Amino acid sequence: MGANTHYDYISTRGGVGSSLTSVDNFFICHAELVSASQKNKNLCEKINLQTINVIPHLLRDLIDKIRSRNKSGMTELSCHPEVPEARQHSGSLCNFTGHPEAIAEGSQKVDEMLKQVQNDKYVSGAHSKHLFPYSPITLFTSKKAAFTLAEVLITLALIGIVAAMTIPTLIQNYQERSWNTASLVFQRKLGDALTIMNSQGTLAGYSSTDDFVAELARHMKISKICQNDDLTSCFPDKVIWGDEEVDMTKVKTVKNFGRDDWENTNLIGAMFADGTAGLIAYNKDCKQDPYSNRVITISKETGIGTDCLAVLYDTTGFKTPNTNLKDLRGLNVLSLAGNSCAFEINGTCFTAPFTPAPLTMAECEKLKDNLGIKRCDIDDDYWAGAVKACGGVSKMPTAAQLADIANYVYNTSGISGNKSGLKLDYDKVAELGFTASQGSDFSVWSNEEYNIDLSYGRYFYQTCTYWNAGSRGGSIPQAVCLGD
């Protein structure tokens, strides 16, 4: 070590000394201090302090510390201004960063510090490493200063395993929420356009789907319209409905949507401005009432309710997966090209869920015998509208079948009547096609009438489910039919 190199010694027993340098377990006497006092030299030899070569990195760091002390009030020779005697009588002693008290008191004070170090039980032996819990030299000499290659590889492998387990689930959850949100946004935009058409008296009275879509385009942005003989220019030519692939070149009329209760009309293709691809069928029995807000119902929980049109739409356009209950959804679409099984639970096939349009009392009376309805006593009968859409009471789910759905979406078993202490799985709710935003509840009609204005249904809440009768005039409950 050069003669002008110095490091402060900090004792665990208190005090700061200028005569010693510490690097891990080594303590070095300053050369000039030793030459100034034979007694100091003897003390250094007595405690068997060793001199080591400090690597250049540490030396530069210590020089920077000395310079910083000079800037904070030390003289050019690094002597404290309070000890002028030291500068006059021991100039050589001022060439290192001496503590002002030690220099002022001279060799006697230094001797005491050396004795203190000598007597410190932590200086030598197994405890010496605890005197200085940290030293810059450990950055270069300690065997624990860095991770081994094996440790790094093991850590990376663990991170990779965790990522492989969690990232696909996160992506899937994100995609499902994205599809659900896009579906609700599309239905709200469509509902707003139909509401305007109803208020203007332009919702009903069309002889074909072509004429209806031409008017719809005035209230909703449609970038492209495709005629019945060129539907695949606006819609994917193959989609997945249930577990089957459907050739969309064979889907041409509303009957292919399972709407046998509608007068047959041709489908028209449409590419909407937001990228959604759709096939539209108009219902010639569509009703309008500019003074009523019940013709078109819009809910953030259940989407849109109307009997004026059926729409099969894909929120991702021509992009995959083009699969029912994912990016492919339907409004008043009960089946597709003869495949009415949108999902299956416990051996029962169900159609895609939908929000029914109501029947008037007169319409209900006219159809009740064919549909199996017992009584028709209210206008805006949504339960009767669901029965009509399904093709009769026999095509509506029973209490036991709705309980099967409840067991599935609550990830449990044994539900038959009312039950609490549950947790609704909203991902499974969306998987089946029911519309329910996170934290909201929903209900589904059954095939059972209660009295003149009530029918039974199952109610799905966040932590419980109930089998109960509700007003047939309620527009909130969704419906699902039994598939073939």
**Domain boundaries of the chain, sorted by first residue:** 9-141, 147-337, 340-484
Q: How far apart (Å, rounded) are the C-alpha atoms in residues 271 and 234?
A: 6
Q: Please give the residue that has the higher pLDDT: either 163 or 71.
A: 163
Q: Could you count the other beta carbons within 10 Å of the beta carbon of residue 132?
A: 19
Q: Say whether pLDDT at 470 is over 60.
A: yes
Region of poorest pLDDT, from 15-24, 93-102, 132-141: 15-24
Does 100 score more than 90 pLDDT?
no
Predicted confidence (pLDDT) per residue in 255-291, tens digit: 999 888 788 899 999 999 999 999 999 999 888 988 8
Task: Tell me if 20 sits within 8 A of 5, measured CB to CB.
Answer: no
- Each residue of 187-215: pLDDT tens digit? 889 999 999 999 999 999 999 999 999 99
pLDDT in tens, 419-430: 999 999 988 888
* Helices 107-119/38-46 angle, 10° precision: 10
Cα 123 from Cα 347, distance rounded (Å)? 81
- What is the pLDDT at residue 11? 37
Higher pLDDT, 176 or 16: 176
> Average pLDDT of the chain?
77
* Angle (CA) 341 343 346, round 5°: 110
Confidence of residue 115 (pLDDT cuts 50, 70, 90): low
Distance CA 81, CA 78 (A): 9
- List pLDDT tens digits, range 5-40: 443 433 333 344 444 444 333 334 444 444 444 544
Q: pTM value?
A: 0.59
Whole-number pLDDT of residue 16: 40
pLDDT for residue 10: 36
Task: Please compute, for residue 15, the number of CA atoms within 13 A of its CA located in the half-sphere on the CB side.
Answer: 18
Comparing 26-35, 152-161, 444-453, the range with the smallest average pLDDT is: 26-35
Q: Residue 76 — very low, low, confident or very high, per pLDDT cuts 50/70/90?
A: very low
Place of tokens 């050396």: 114
Q: Rounded distance, CA 198 to CA 203, Å?
A: 5
pLDDT given at position 47: 43
pLDDT higher for 178 or 270? 270
